[in-house]
Structure 1
Amino acid sequence: MSTPTPAPYTPPPELITAAEKALAQASPGKLATALTLYTCYGGVTGGRSAVTGAELPPFEKCSTLVRAGWLAVAEAINTPVASVAAVPAGPVGAPVVPPGQKPSIGRAVHYQDGNLVCAADITAVNPDGTVDLLVKPPREHTVNVSNVAEAPTASPKSGHWNWMPRV
């Protein structure tokens, strides 16, 4: 008596749609990182699936879900993970600055303009540690601001930038 072969997995359409969207919106750099991570996985497994033992296809020939999965790993790889014990004590809702985080071009941050918190993108990192920002005030035109220092504490300070709090 033989064991029946299980039916192949058919992912729900919403997963495929979400994966296609993620791949379409991914930057070339993140896709390259996903490819590198997939290649590293294949290097550890001898180019075979650790689950089925089947030979791994080239990344470009992998299913949409597999490529989107490695893209998700690429996007998460630099996301700090804090354990409950590692979160510093502070007021509820206070931002937690990720340890070892350094400003780099393209990173999203907050810029404090008086009492207004604005979204901003880092456009340059200057030798003195300040950054240049493309500030995006709500319902207004973007503004370039140069030589902006990081707020000295996790609390916002007008005219300074700080990391967005994790939510």
Structure 2
Amino acid sequence: MPRLLIVHHTPSPALQEMFEATVSGATTDEIENVEVVRRPALAATAVDVLEADGYLLGTPANIGYMSGALKHFFDTIYYPCLDATKGRPYALYVHGNQGTEGAVRAVDGIASGLEWQKVANPVCVMGQPGREDIEACWELGATVAATLMG
């Protein structure tokens, strides 16, 4: 059974809402035979990444960059997973209060180095997530999980 790994850093109520929406989308009844595994960024390991078939990443934008927790995740898994995970699908959601561009650019750069394939545009939310933002997160989770069904 294909496995979707959701790696997230969720230090705020806004990010918790976004995380729950992505999980809900990834685990909706329409998604069949995809196992969804959730790991906080500081707990996710190279083994988690190697055992997964696709990735959904969540982070706050801190001072124009991804969270230190997600950067630590990438530092930990980059070389052990470099060759073995090429071509795997990924997507990203980001919450910020002053801008999300730097965080998106940083994650996309690292994912590009890993040769992961972006399967959806990032969901970027500024301030308190609204209904449309939460729906976009749900769609993101469902989209990434659906890519693994085929």
Length-normalised TM-score, structure 2: 0.24
The structure with the largest alpha-carbon Rg is 1
* Higher strand fraction (1 or 2): 2
Greater helix proportion: 2
